[in-house]
Chain A
Amino acid sequence: MPPGAVSYWGAVHPMEKLRVSESSSLIIRGQNGDDWESLYALLSLNDVALNTSELPYASEDAFRDRYASPPANTHVLIVETGLPSGRKRIVGAAWLEVQARPRRRHVARLTLIAHPDMAGSQEEASLLNAALDLGEGWLGLRRIEALVFAEDARALALFQAHGFVVEATLRRYAIRAGRLADGCLLARLAHRQGEGGQHEQEA
């Protein structure tokens, strides 16, 4: 785990206890009951939706149906930061969707979203590292894929700094800001990473 991040296992991981109480107000945890409402708010922000496959004017009901109780092969990580009031605020999420086809179960598709305030921050990198730790260190995944818009330079840089390689450029991948935009398929192979395998590699 990266410094400052907390892996939340229902209880705080014993190794991380000190870090929590010292400085970090960042918590990375699984998805609970009404988290979908915060995710809805997050994905309704233009800057966030732009780089996803979300549509504007989404119905809350339809959103809840899709996001409130993810299927068993989809692992969701939620990032919360503490506010001065002591309350928590959800600022990002990651979906790790293990492929259902029998011959592709070593593969997952990873999707990250982050509040614009968090974009490019250490918190965002912590979220990515937590998702990689879960996928490679606990689910035994060999290959983690991500699809980002070719114009989304920040996301490309983030993934590339964490061992992902652009494998393909998909022409006319999806509509973005009113026109067809290309996408980049990135992948990271667990066994191609540095010593220790599942942990973040030095860029």
Chain B
Amino acid sequence: MSKKRSAPRLDITIRGVEADDWEDIAAIQAAPEVIYGTLQVPYKSRDAIRERTENQPPDMHGLVAVVDEQVVGLLGLHVDTGRRAHVASLGMMVHADFHGRGVGNALMAAAIDLAENWLAISRIELEVFPDNAPAIALYEKFGFEREGTLREYAFRDGQYVDSYLMARLRPDGKPAP
């Protein structure tokens, strides 16, 4: 995220996801760039997206990034249970028009604060495609480390592709940024 951008600095607000956000979320998920970088599928039913937005499971913490009253980014933090209650898995997506403008940064900072300072999560894990350099750079900036490469992890645009497994461990004794 060190690249200089001519676009003006965005005023980004992070808040919890609301049922009414579903249309903005559907717009984010429909973009080919977003589908390519995540495990979404094209031609997804808007009803299914609405249903999922309106009924977030209790162990899912959904955060959205809002710019000018529009939801431009979405992050889900899914907390595990039992012997993995200290673990959360994280997924995020940013509106294709807002890539590289600090949206992911703001979402990630909020998610780490929520996870480590309030939910006592000490391990956050995620998967990312190895060719998604901007996302990997963001994750590394926030202390995620590569734990391995999962071969043929997912199908994408006609091919089986690998994925990196990355995780961030809560720094001992230090509150998250």
Contact = CB atoms under 8 A, between A and B. Distances in A.
Contact of B151 (A104, A175, A189): A189
Please report whether the interface of chain A is mostly helix, strand, loop or mixed according to DSSP. Answer: strand
Given A169-B148, A172-B169, A106 B83 contact: no
Contacts of A106: 152, 155, 160
Interface residues of B, number: 24
Interface string A161-181: 000001111111111100010
A115 interface: no
A168 B149 contact: yes
B169 A103 contact: no
B150 A167 contact: yes
A139 to B, nearest CB: 15
Nearest to B122: A172
B167 interface: yes
A199 interface: no
Contacts of B87: 172-174
Contacts of A55: 82-83
B153 A104 contact: yes
Contact of A142 (B83, B149, B160, B167): B160
Contacts of B84: 53, 173-175
B116 interface: no
B77 to A, nearest CB: 17
Interface residues of A, number: 27
A53 B83 CA distance: 6
A180 B165 contact: no
A196 interface: no
A101 interface: yes
Contacts of A189: 151-152
Nearest to B147: A168
A104 B86 contact: no
B152 A172 contact: no
Given A106-B152, A143-B152, A101 B39 contact: yes
A187 interface: yes
Interface in B129-173: 147-156, 160, 165, 167, 169
A103 B154 contact: yes
Given A55-B83, A103-B41, A104-B39, A171 B169 contact: yes
A176 B151 contact: no
Interface string B77-99: 00000111011000000000000
Contact of A171 (B147, B152, B156): B147
Nearest to A169: B147
Interface in A91-123: 101-104, 106-107
Given A104-B153, A171-B167, A172-B123, A180 B148 contact: no
10 contacts: A101-B39, A102-B39, A103-B41, A103-B154, A107-B154, A143-B153, A167-B148, A169-B148, A172-B169, A187-B151
Interface of A: 53-55, 101-104, 106-107, 142-143, 145, 166-176, 180, 185, 187, 189
